[in-house]
Structure 1
């Protein structure tokens, strides 16, 4: 059983998608559609940068979705039945496009707005994030719960031994030290514009709720595994609610992969730029191989089991 995975922020790179646009008129048309929907040349930022402009969350989020959906459109007629889709953070919107929950144009506009709202929340209440390496989930949760200097919560349960924490700057620094004291191998501050997937993003969640309430959201044609619950979403109303809750909730990525494997998924495709999710997959469920598909070479070389 095949499942599709879509990457989130951090996988963007200057030049992303350019090889697809140069080789496939369908990809060019999709990029043009995104540029028109957003009212500016996102494609130029993706192809030429500069890097700091692409990395800005208001641009990185739609860039990743556009690249992922373009790659999907180029391979979908070869895939056969798909059991589940899932995406890491921002990638969950790409997963919903794949499942027919959201139209491509609505999703591009939604993630652009999501990025703007998350940046604004980071400006209103500055925060940060840090990766904790080599500590069990429960011990990371305990370290965060013991923090006394502000909000510090687990934000991404990425794989066994890799959890990202998020919150107020001073509180995250305290959480990093508490994690190291508890036996973590490493604690590394991340370069982010806010405390994503934490209560500090409440204003962003409220703004996204208002935006999504204006969109048509269908029941997915393929179950989409939610970051919030690590379970399958099968209705449009539930999808809308969980996409909003995701902004202030931890990404339960490892549990999401295990849910799909336990439900019968035997192989995965990571669709979009980079190979971050493939790397996590090897640490979560090595028995279910994952192939990254985002470049022209990868798309042309893709072999799909019948």
Structure 2
């Protein structure tokens, strides 16, 4: 959802480790490196069908290689929201990179729902922060909570994303104050909702063929406030990702529970969603950001993990 054409290009020009990473990705996917950087999503494609997910994953993994190989900065834990959760599992060593990109390539082939099925959509809504998002549309047919993005504005509200059939979303919006519900015209799939079960079903043969391992470092879930430490838990994360709601508060809360001292947000991201954490956060997307991350590690007295295997 935060795809930016050109993401990762500056790092690619400067660091051999990034160049090696992209060469492998191009080999695994059959997509030339210039296309990974610059290809735009074609009209009519869903967000999962373009090159964007591959571009984002490549950028995140390239940045992690620079941090690890050039500066010895490796994670003590990983996390991600939505698609980012899958990349986080890969960064933690629970999934091989080649298998991750095999899955992302398969995502490009997900067939569209039958023309006879109702049109899907995504909508944004601000609600009082003390409102439980899970109860918001619990009794509304064909409208589902897709994501809780946490505090926005002055902190008295939270932003949620809803997924459902377009007509059902319009009917729900009519029960709210005018203009409260903003339906996206760009994203026509009710992601992170039961309406995406066909995606999970389509990916099942790939998931069955993948090797999931216990992560080398904890992976903090974006679906519940819990830590994933086993291969089965990572497999469950991948299977549920298309259909289950995700939550920034759950993810950040898990990091806070673990005593996180510093967070590095890698690659294109809605960085503002992390600024309500009780630990410092640095966005790392460009060469300048890499220096900022290195500086933050030392300024905050972070003791880096010493196990070389973490950087593999």
TM-score normalised to the size of structure 2? 0.83
Higher percent of residues as helix: 1
Inter-partner Cα distance in structure 2 for 1:88 and 1:239: 14
Q: Which has the higher contact order (CA 8 A, sep 6+)?
A: 1
| 1:174 alignment partner in structure 2 | 171
Query: Contact (CA 8 Å) 1:154, 1:166: kept in 2 or not?
Result: yes
Match of 1:280 in 2: 273
Q: In structure 1, what is the Cα distance between the partners aligned to 2:144 and 2:150?
A: 17
Q: Structure 1 residues 272, 201: CA separation in 2 closer, same or farther (over 3 Å shift)?
A: same
Deviation at 1:173, TM superposition (A): 2.0
3-state SS of the aligned residue for 1:100?
A: coil
Alignment of 1:84-123 (within 5 A): 84-117=77-110, 120-121=112-113
Aligned partner of 1:127 in structure 2 is 120
In structure 2, the residue matched to 1:3 is none
Q: Secondary structure at the match of 2:181?
A: strand
Alpha-carbon separation, structure 1, partners of 2:253 and 2:226: 10
Question: In 2 relative to 1, CA 82–25 (structure 1 residues): closer, same or farther, beyond 3 Å?
Answer: closer
Q: Is the CA contact (8 Å cut-off) linking 1:269 and 1:291 kept in structure 2?
A: yes
Structure 1 stretches of 5 or more lacking a match?
A: 1-9
Q: Secondary structure at the match of 2:125?
A: strand
- With 191-200 and 80-89 compared, the bigger mean Cα shift is at 80-89
Alignment of 1:35-46 (within 5 A): 35-41=26-32, 43-46=33-36
> 1:122 & 1:74 partners in 2: Cα distance?
44
| The one of 241, 248, 252 aligned to 2:236 | 241
Kept in 2: contact 1:95–1:224 (CA 8 A): yes
Count of aligned residue pairs for this structure pair:
286
SS in 1 for 2:259: coil
Q: TM-score, normalised by structure 1?
A: 0.84
Aligned residue number for residue 63 of structure 1: 55
Distance 2:35 2:72 in 1: 30
1:184-216 alpha-carbon deviations (Å, 9 max, x no partner): 984222221311001111111122232111011
**Does 2:59 correspond to 1:72?**
no
Are residues 1:224 and 2:214 paired?
no
CA contact (8 A) 1:61 1:115 kept: no
Superposition deviation, residue 177 in structure 1: 3.5
Aligned match of 1:6: none
**Which residue among 181, 184, 190 is the counterpart of 1:187?**
181
Judge conservation of contact 1:13–1:51 (CA < 8 Å) in 2.
no
